[in-house]
Structure 1
Amino acid sequence: MREPLPADMFDELCPSSLNPIRFGDKWAALIIRCLEHGPRRFSELRVPLSRVTPKVLTQSLRSLERDGLVRRTVYAEATPHVEYELTPLGRSMLQPIVVACAWTEKHWDELLGARESYDQATRLDHAG
């Protein structure tokens, strides 16, 4: 039995939600992180990725599969199921993602400040 993914894996304190460096689509890096320790079923991925709709998660997984980063395996057993796992190419993305998250954590306050300033200026532009 494998360890379940924590529901708060990407909570507010995790810099991944603020990370301006994108790997694939918006959710790709988070999916890759979820698969870091081995294969997972779709329902397991939904726990830490609860902000992602099932449709968007499916699209992101297909995109990662198309790019050769994720392998999808269908098990036609008594209870059929599908698992997703990183390919060697997908595993090679883990280190750059760790570096990007460390950078984001280091610059967290600057990024938040910049976003707040931008959002405030944008609201003023649209208001007047």
Structure 2
Amino acid sequence: MNKPLKFNVFHPDCPSRIFFEKFADKWILLIVYTLDQDAQHFNQLKKSVTGISPKVLSQKLKILERDGMLTRTIHDDNVIRIEYALTELGKAFAKTADQLKGWVEENMDSVLQARSEFDQKH
């Protein structure tokens, strides 16, 4: 027998909807996918996630840290560096991000073809 769901993303006041809205963000998905490959410092992430501004990257990293998806480790060598790495929860979410990435890459030709056909009709 299936247990009733505690959360319902379709209910406007459900915390799962807030999570869903945040984590369906392109930058969040790209950051999670990138960190799933390896832990990185801020500037490495900025280079890996092409096009993201430092301000937006900082905001998204805070969201991910707050929701338990990543950890910040401060390395105090000669220069203070902060390394970001996925937690176990973040790694589990990264599997979903990777599936979405794969689907997009495999199906983009079909999407672009559908767009072209739609635009020609309208």
Fold conserved between structures, TM > 0.5: yes
Aligned residues: 101
Q: Secondary structure at the match of 1:110?
A: helix
Question: Hey, what's the Cα distance between the residues in 2 that align with 1:105 and 1:66?
Answer: 30
Question: Hey, what's the Cα distance between the residues in 2 that align with 1:38 and 1:69?
Answer: 14
Q: Quote how far apart the aligned CAs of 1:99 are.
A: 1.7
Between Structure 1 and Structure 2, the one with more helix by share is 2
1:45 matched to which residue of 2? 45
**In 2, are the aligned partners of 1:25 and 1:60 still within 8 Å (CA)?**
no
**In 2, are the aligned partners of 1:74 and 1:80 still within 8 Å (CA)?**
yes
TM-score (norm 1): 0.65
TM-score (norm 2): 0.68
Q: Quote how far apart the aligned CAs of 1:72 are.
A: 1.1
Question: Hey, what's the Cα distance between the residues in 1 that align with 2:101 and 2:83?
Answer: 26
Output the amino acid matched with 1:44.
Q
Q: Secondary structure at the match of 2:85?
A: strand
Q: Percent identity among equivalent residues?
A: 36
2:12 matched to which residue of 1? none
Q: Which has the higher contact order (CA 8 A, sep 6+)?
A: 1
Output the amino acid matched with 1:81.
R
1:1-128 pair list within 5 angstroms: 23-116=23-116
Q: Deviations over 1:28-86 (max 9, x none)?
A: 11111211233210111111223011111111111111111111112233321111000
Q: Quote how far apart the aligned CAs of 1:27 are.
A: 0.6
Structure 2: segments with no counterpart, 5+ residues: 1-21
Q: Quote how far apart the aligned CAs of 1:115 are.
A: 4.3
Question: Hey, what's the Cα distance between the residues in 1 that align with 2:117 and 2:111?
Answer: 10
**In 2, are the aligned partners of 1:64 and 1:70 still within 8 Å (CA)?**
yes
